[in-house]
Structure 1
Amino acid sequence: MSPLTAADYARAEQMLAPYRARRVPTVTPQWLGDGERFWYVVGGRHVLVDPGKAARTELFDHERVAAALSLETGQAATADALPVVAVEVDDLGVRFTALGQRYRWADGALTSIDETSPLPGEIASPDGRRVAFARDGNVWVRDRDGGEEVALTDDAEPGLAYGAANAPMAMGTLLRSFGLGPLFHATWSPDSTRLLVHRLDERGLPEQVLVESVPAGGGRPVEHRLPYPMPGDEAHPTMTWHVLDVAARTRVDGQDAPEPAVHGTAFVYAWWSADGDTVHYLRQSRDARTLHLRRLDPATGATTTLVTETAATRVDATPQLGEPTMTHVLATGEILWWSQRDGWGHLWLYSPDGEATQVTSGSWQIRGVLRVDEERRQVWFVAGGLHDDPYIRQIARIGLDGTGFVRLTDDDLDHDAVAPPGGGYVVDSASSPSTPPRTRVLDEDGEVLVELEAPGTDALRAEGWTPPERFRATAADGRTPVFGLLWRPHGFDPERPYPVIDHVYPGPQNHRALPAFDSPHQGEPEALAALGFAVVAIDGRGTAGRSKAFHDHSYGDLGNAGALDDHVAAIRELRRRHPWLDTDRVGITGHSAGGFAAARGLLAHPEFYRVAVAVSGNHDDTYGLQMWAEHYHGDADLSSLSTPALAANLQGKLLLIHGELDETVLVSQTYRLADALIAADEDVDMLIVAGGDHAILHRRHHVFRRTWDYFVRHLHGQEPPRYRLAPLPLG
């Protein structure tokens, strides 16, 4: 092929996610009140939707607001690029922040108001009057109209903090770089009078030390310590639940024993009942083989177990880690519960006396509950597996007695649907790898109430983009179907051979090669395609989103990195279909677990993979996150997770990249692998980024460019052009 030029790199740069997103807008609903209406932003315009009236209008008059802001501030504002943030809507009008000042727009007039908008890390109350925030580990609230700040707790201490996230998952490095405080999580009661908050106890845990070699303010290197227990350590973080009364300034402690908190999702699965009389939360055992639904009385702290489920392997609370809970406690005392006990992921209904009846069944999976109508005794949900492609999501409805199953969508598009808290309609964004999200409001029977957005791909195609091909292949076992995406190189010529890059993320907590448009977890395959590579993303056995057996393929075998043997088999099968794929030149790259898989692939399959770039990889989970190995590897031998043990297998070219202040996957993981390669007298390239967090966010443009250069040199056999990417925008 012709030598790549700076112009090729410039086109690749425009294929990175922040720039692609600007060319194909998406809809993120912001609910008003009980969800009867919502608004969203697209193309710089704020849009109000009233499904009950089948109406879509502007949230406010953009031209008049632009004129009023220009007059008020003395700085020119345009209707399609208003400098407004922190938008809120109430019965009196629209409130927003512009150029550091808070305003209200109502009745065609702009008024300056004495109100502060929630700062990063602050949580606004439902009535909009207060915000809750953390200070030195304690919980505080302040009135947004400039009133006093009040401390609701005063007993925090180092390692014992309210609303905190586990240190390895708390993004401390990243937040410090933006001058922000620690993450904070709490949940307001519906009437805005109380807060539900957990208290995380990380006291006495084994510590790790990270060294900031080049502090932003100059001077000597700085030491950062964080609690970091590892798999098998007896010590582990725990958490307790507390209810704080804002007016009375009192605290009610949950009477449950401290629960394991080895991952930050533990405090996500807790919620108030609609009347505010009850709190429910999910509690998982340290080994993840037992899951409880617990009820907490916010007045007394008394706790009761309502549902308990156990299994020989992990009991997941949702299809993918961190997704919204599908548990619903009905006014009748019945409980709608998601479970994989029949080998899939279905809904069960528990009676008040604990008897369970299966609501849905079949060789498919409930992916999310949209709405439960207690009066009509029906539930609306999103399901995967009703299509030939098991990852395509469709919207359906069924009675709580298991009868009356109805599909509300039945097409080849993936339906990423959400519903308001009050129900009554669904906002459905339907897409495919080649079709941008067509967003509509559907009624309870799947009929269209309002058409919202249907963007095209002309702006992307003008940059050389072509949609990826959705493919099905056969796993290494010779029988299990696996699915993936294939990006053709820009300027594709079927008569030319193209090197292949496996863009990998092995889960196991999620899947990545979605049958949707520009789906998450894809990283930058589009950019690599712009540089003349064929790129694949594959969900091998052991990843989430399908049957329990498919997911459990990785349980006890995390070292196979989401079935790398399936990746090899699938790429070889693709080569038989597409002779232009050059499987003598195959590279592999990924971040985090994908970084682990990239290095693992090069060393475990040296006959297949020739070049790897491994970013922030957890190369030896014996010394990694406590939760990762304990939840997803079980009691199996941890030594099988050690990629350094394979160092002598190196035949190809390997670039290791890591941020020195990575608190999630310690930089020592990359040093361990590099040390093993050096001990084996093998060549390895390594880039340690000073001040870098897990995502290496402040230098990711450099990481991308170095990755491209490495593959251009060692797969294309060319010297890359001199080109420097601009720092990437955050949104």
Structure 2
Amino acid sequence: MTGPESLTDADYARAEQMLAPYRARRVPTVTPQWIGDGERFWYAAAGRHVLVDPGKGERTELFDHERVAAALSRETGTAVEAGALPLVSPEVDDDTIRFTALGQRYRWADGALTRIDETPPLPNETVSPDGRWIAFGRDGNIWVRSRDGGEEFALTDDAEPGLAYGAANASMSLTVLLRSFGTGPFVYLVWSPDSTRLLVHRLDERGLPEQVLVESVPPGGGRPVEHRLSYPMPDDEAHPTLTWHVLDVAARTKVDGQDPPEPAVHGTAFVYAWWSADGDLVHYLRQSRDARTLHLRRLDPATGATTTLLTETGATRVDATPQLGEPTMTHVLGTGEILWWSQRDGWGHLWLYSADGGEATQVTSGQWPVRAVLRVDEERRLVWFLAGGQRDDPYVRQIARIGLDGSGFTLLTDDDLDHDTAAPPGGGYLVDRASSPALPPQVRVLDEDGEVLVELEAPGTDALRAEGWTPPERFRATAADGRTPVYGLFWRPHGLDVRDPQGRHPVIDHVYPGPQNHRALPAFDSPHQGEPEALAALGFAVVAIDGRGTAGRSKAFHDHSYGDLGNAGSLDDHVAVIRELGRRHPWLDTDRVGITGHSAGGFAAARGMVAHPELYRVGVAVAGNHDDTYGLQMWAEHYHGDADRSALSTPALAANLAGKLLLIHGELDETVLVTQTHRLVDALITADKDVDMLIVPGGDHSILHRRHYVFRRTWDYFVRHLHGQEPPAYRLAPLPLG
């Protein structure tokens, strides 16, 4: 046998049920929603809404689901089931719950349902801590409205095209995607703890080089429509900048930060700014354009005066967090001392600086990284955090505690599960989600010593297994250098009898090379940038590998890609690992290997086809940034440094293509321009190489509204060219978006 016999509609239907939205329905998840300062929280899972009071050790229903269902049924004349309440935008305040159901806003309090006349906050709006105000953007300015609908006013009035408050870089603004949902752009701002002021940046993209996207089939019909966006490229002198501003809601005044404009080439600078607990100060991280210098700055919200508290420089990137965009681990204590995360010792550890930024004490140490800070208790001088590298698998996270003087290191969890843990704003307990690739998150509330206060959810996998799912296997292999251990996940084809496998099965490398993150998590249902489970349902063995050059381990491991970004997270490691797996499992057919990925994974998929044609026979590359010389400034400047830019070009290797390659791209992709795919196609034509291409009209970077079609075309391509079969005529339904 060469794989499954004649795939049928039933096989495709089973694969469809392995897609993320359908898998999620079969395993409940817990996302804590803090009430007030976090003494209590609620969550929704498996059709129920649950209230948790850790102080009392209680887990109860947030409300009487049967009574709410009955009340909604009477009020709307529509039958509503208690286990499937159509609640949208729920908000909880003490014992009152407000929500939208069937197009109307309601309040549930004291066992009674009441219609209310209010507009709930939209996804791109931010509610003040006291619940009285909602801040939002309009035409680049910041506006505020009261929750009771009595007031609405602007706090700024000087925005102009290319100069907007709270804006994301045009290339990362998701304009096309948000338009499809009828929503305006996201606005990034932070309320002061007392709800009187707003911290907001102003992004300046005026005069930057523009790119043009053509919408071939506008939603309203008619001629193609031109869309222009600011899109400076690596080494362009022009680049976006931002400044910081404090807006007073009552006085309706603006205080401008006195810092000169800072580079904003990566589009995440605004996630690294925060208010002090008393609201008297603002702190933010400022990174140089080349990312080799990182400053901690202080802003006085009353005057706009700014001060540098701490500066770190490096020969390569100085990262603020283990993975790009994660919450900051920097804490400025009431004493003025600074808790700071740094990779200066080759890992990623916590340091405590004196108030003047001079003297530093290393708080944590060892050949492992601190992955997140959960809580700092200034009174008792303790910090709770997630520690990597405490088990054989360096990516597994455990909960730990240590004194700010570096004494008393204690592991509060001591198992082989990965701990994805959250802490409330007020401290006092932890919400721990412990899982493995085979075990869904076991969710518990832990006290400060790691003891269980409340058991929340302990789901199993029976519902998934009933659909044919089997868990991926965590594996360790050896990198191409012959000595560095690398890790990944391995999905066996559905129905494979591991004791007596029949025939040989093709392999698909499901790739995402970072370098800003890692992807093959030792956790349940980790975000794979795609759907390996569905491909396994179609009879493929699938691997996801974190090669050298990706994040989450040592500084040296991550820096392996610095100056060598064209190697796509060490594709040579992927080749070595797949060969090694083939030796371990003789039923793997390593003469039939495919590769697929999205975005940076799309780049890696096409790169693999031309850089390693001896291994990869079939590739599907979606939204790939195939030549970062013409991509976003951040990738080349932050992650490739000053090295030769020509090494970033996949089109330069086009003549090497020997296998079958399908390129897919959305025509309105603002993040990775569709011209990236056109460049590669042009080079392949010049080299007289055959290539298949699908340009999705109206598609954004995620191609969200057409992804069912993209998945089906991907499956068909691998079935046709790796299995050697004609795919069935099955058609996927559009995927649920919520």
Instruction: Identify whether the pair has TM-score above 0.5, normalized to the shorter chain.
Output: yes
Partners of 1:224 and 1:115 in 2: CA distance: 35
From 621, 635, 638, the counterpart of 1:614: 621
Matched, 1:691 2:694: no
Partners of 2:224 and 2:215 in 1: CA distance: 5
The residue aligned with 1:423 is 427
Matched, 1:382 2:374: no
> 1:206 deviation in Å?
0.1
Answer with 100-109 or 383-392: which moved more: 100-109
| 1:229-284 Cα shifts (integer Å, max 9, x gaps) | 00000000000000000111100000001000012211111001111101000000
Partners of 1:581 and 1:521 in 2: CA distance: 21
Matched, 1:453 2:446: no
Amino acid at match of 2:25: R
Answer with 201-210 or 110-119: which moved more: 110-119
Contact 2:246/2:301, CA 8 A, preserved across alignment: yes
Matched, 1:351 2:354: yes
Answer with 109-118 or 9-18: which moved more: 109-118
Matched, 1:661 2:668: yes
From 444, 447, 452, the counterpart of 2:448: 444
The residue aligned with 2:402 is 398
Partners of 1:642 and 1:362 in 2: CA distance: 38
- Pairwise mapping of residues 76-95 of structure 1 onto structure 2 (< 5 A)? 76-95=79-98
Partners of 2:431 and 2:139 in 1: CA distance: 40
The residue aligned with 2:550 is 543
> 1:104 deviation in Å?
1.6
SS at match of 1:139: strand
The residue aligned with 1:224 is 227
| 1:624-643 Cα shifts (integer Å, max 9, x gaps) | 00111100000001100000
Partners of 1:120 and 1:448 in 2: CA distance: 34
- Pairwise mapping of residues 195-234 of structure 1 onto structure 2 (< 5 A)? 195-234=198-237
| 1:488-514 Cα shifts (integer Å, max 9, x gaps) | 001104232000000000000000000
Partners of 1:149 and 1:37 in 2: CA distance: 31
| 1:303-346 Cα shifts (integer Å, max 9, x gaps) | 01111000000000000000000000111111100000000000
Contact 2:20/2:531, CA 8 A, preserved across alignment: yes
Matched, 1:135 2:142: no
Amino acid at match of 2:119: T
SS at match of 1:264: coil
TM-score, scaled to structure 1: 0.99
- Pairwise mapping of residues 498-537 of structure 1 onto structure 2 (< 5 A)? 498-537=505-544
Partners of 1:179 and 1:219 in 2: CA distance: 20
From 361, 368, 371, the counterpart of 1:364: 368
Matched, 1:235 2:238: yes
Partners of 1:667 and 1:370 in 2: CA distance: 40
Amino acid at match of 1:325: T
Contact 1:39/1:47, CA 8 A, preserved across alignment: yes
The residue aligned with 1:714 is 721
Partners of 2:589 and 2:62 in 1: CA distance: 53
The residue aligned with 1:293 is 296
Partners of 2:87 and 2:463 in 1: CA distance: 26
Matched, 1:581 2:588: yes
Matched, 1:66 2:69: yes
The residue aligned with 2:151 is 148
> 1:183 deviation in Å?
1.7
Matched, 1:99 2:106: no
| 1:409-432 Cα shifts (integer Å, max 9, x gaps) | 111100000100111000000000
Partners of 1:277 and 1:266 in 2: CA distance: 21
> 1:144 deviation in Å?
1.4
Gap regions ≥5 residues in structure 1: none
Partners of 1:628 and 1:10 in 2: CA distance: 38
SS at match of 1:7: helix
The residue aligned with 2:11 is 8
Partners of 1:277 and 1:366 in 2: CA distance: 29
Partners of 1:333 and 1:26 in 2: CA distance: 38
Q: Percent identity, aligned pairs only?
A: 86
> 1:353 deviation in Å?
2.5
Matched, 1:705 2:712: yes
The residue aligned with 1:159 is 162
Q: How many residue pairs get matched?
A: 731
Partners of 2:621 and 2:640 in 1: CA distance: 22
From 26, 29, 36, the counterpart of 2:32: 29
> 1:218 deviation in Å?
0.4
> 1:556 deviation in Å?
0.3
Contact 2:529/2:597, CA 8 A, preserved across alignment: no
Contact 2:35/2:94, CA 8 A, preserved across alignment: no
Amino acid at match of 1:226: L
> 1:365 deviation in Å?
0.3
> 1:44 deviation in Å?
1.3
Matched, 1:411 2:411: no
The residue aligned with 1:631 is 638
Partners of 2:719 and 2:102 in 1: CA distance: 44
Contact 1:329/1:336, CA 8 A, preserved across alignment: yes
Answer with 623-632 or 97-106: which moved more: 97-106
Amino acid at match of 1:374: E
The residue aligned with 1:305 is 308
The residue aligned with 1:727 is 734
Partners of 2:165 and 2:93 in 1: CA distance: 30
Partners of 2:73 and 2:280 in 1: CA distance: 48
SS at match of 2:560: helix
> 1:69 deviation in Å?
1.3
- Pairwise mapping of residues 172-191 of structure 1 onto structure 2 (< 5 A)? 172-191=175-194
Amino acid at match of 1:683: D
Amino acid at match of 2:406: G
- Pairwise mapping of residues 463-478 of structure 1 onto structure 2 (< 5 A)? 463-478=467-482
Partners of 1:92 and 1:678 in 2: CA distance: 66
Partners of 1:224 and 1:678 in 2: CA distance: 28
> 1:173 deviation in Å?
1.0
| 1:647-679 Cα shifts (integer Å, max 9, x gaps) | 100100000000000000000000000000000
| 1:143-196 Cα shifts (integer Å, max 9, x gaps) | 111112101111000000000000000011111122221121111111111111
Amino acid at match of 1:264: G
Contact 2:529/2:598, CA 8 A, preserved across alignment: no
SS at match of 2:55: helix
> 1:114 deviation in Å?
2.8
Partners of 2:344 and 2:471 in 1: CA distance: 38
| 1:595-625 Cα shifts (integer Å, max 9, x gaps) | 0000000100011110000000000000000
Contact 2:490/2:542, CA 8 A, preserved across alignment: yes
From 328, 338, 342, the counterpart of 1:339: 342
> 1:522 deviation in Å?
4.4
Matched, 1:566 2:567: no
Partners of 1:693 and 1:320 in 2: CA distance: 24
Contact 2:125/2:186, CA 8 A, preserved across alignment: no
> 1:92 deviation in Å?
4.8
Answer with 70-79 or 418-427: which moved more: 70-79
Matched, 1:486 2:493: no
Partners of 1:212 and 1:108 in 2: CA distance: 51
Over the aligned positions, Cα root-mean-square deviation in angstroms equals 0.8
The residue aligned with 2:439 is 435
Contact 1:513/1:522, CA 8 A, preserved across alignment: no
The residue aligned with 1:592 is 599
Partners of 2:272 and 2:641 in 1: CA distance: 23
Partners of 1:208 and 1:238 in 2: CA distance: 18
Partners of 1:709 and 1:91 in 2: CA distance: 52
